[in-house]
Amino acid sequence: MEITTFNAEWPTRLLDPSGRRMAKPRTRGYTMVIDKGLGLHAFTDLLNTAGDYIDIVKFGFGTSTLYPPALMREKIELARKHGIVVMPGGTLLEAAVKQDLVPAFFRQVLTLGFNGIEVSDGTIVLSRRDRDDLIRDGVSLGLKVYTEYGKKLFGSRIDVEEFTRTAEQDWACGADLVTVEARESGVGVGLFDEHGNCRESELQFMASAVPQLERVMWEAPQKDQQVSLIKSLGSDVNLGNISVQDVIALETMRRGLRSDTFHLQSATFVADYVI
């Protein structure tokens, strides 16, 4: 018999076979997307298609300064309507520090409507005191503050003890998440080797040594990196620097809707299918 339905929805257990994915506003399993120059129409399409799966949008590097202000405001407003934290890239704040323009940076962040900032020292040298002050300043202005650990220099690695000390102090100053640097390429920096492969032994060591892993975000722009982190740390790992075209693909991996993470599907769902 032919079955015809209209306006039908997928069965609930096919929407999330893992049974573990939180809806927004989430307290874990954040996805941070990097916008490197989307136009308004493309940005609108992104949010209409995948806004439910995006928690943070970062306008990469110093790109925020290159948009017409009216366009920048419109993109920020659209993202916020979708419950998304929007922030300029940490490199822009680093430039403000170097140019002695931090107060002007914060004024423009608020004027444009950003509700988050990234505090990093991937390119400059930032003292612990200055890092603390930037975090506290952002928090005092009502902004979500995400910090970043690591240098952008090719070949830089993670010192787990230093990372732990940095993260604990950042959290004490009011930071929401601490991000492990991997750049937008995901190659030869931090957790990933010169081929972009995850250093599994280092990841396992960090997973056992670092407290509050739910407050750590891992930059993982490549698909295999995302798979490694999900398999090691679970579907609700916080992942950043996700390209705009990969948002929904990543969400399928979080839910066990892709072969790479099919094992995440709950036993109940598998049993029902077998029956």
pLDDT digits (tens, 9 = 90+) for 100-145: 999 999 999 999 999 999 999 988 999 999 999 999 999 999 999 9
User: What pLDDT is attached to residue 184?
Assistant: 60
Residue 152 tokens, joined: 């952008």
User: What pLDDT is attached to residue 150?
Assistant: 80
The per-residue DSSP string of 42-91 comes to: HHHHHHHHHGGG--EEEE-TTGGGGS-HHHHHHHHHHHHHTT-EEEE-HH
User: What pLDDT is attached to residue 8?
Assistant: 67
Nearest CA among 198, 157, 155, 148 for reference residue 178: 148
Q: What is the residue extent of each domain of the chain? A: 20-274
DSSP reduced 3-state for 30: coil
> Residue 176 has what DSSP assignment?
S
Q: Which residues contact 109 (CB under 8 A, 6 or more apart)?
A: 88, 117, 141, 143
pLDDT digits (tens, 9 = 90+) for 64-102: 999 999 999 999 999 999 999 999 999 999 999 999 999
Segments of the chain with pLDDT less than 50: 1, 269-275
Q: How many residues does the chain have?
A: 275
User: What pLDDT is attached to residue 155?
Assistant: 58
- The CATH homologous superfamily to which domain 20-274 belongs is Aldolase class I (3.20.20.70)
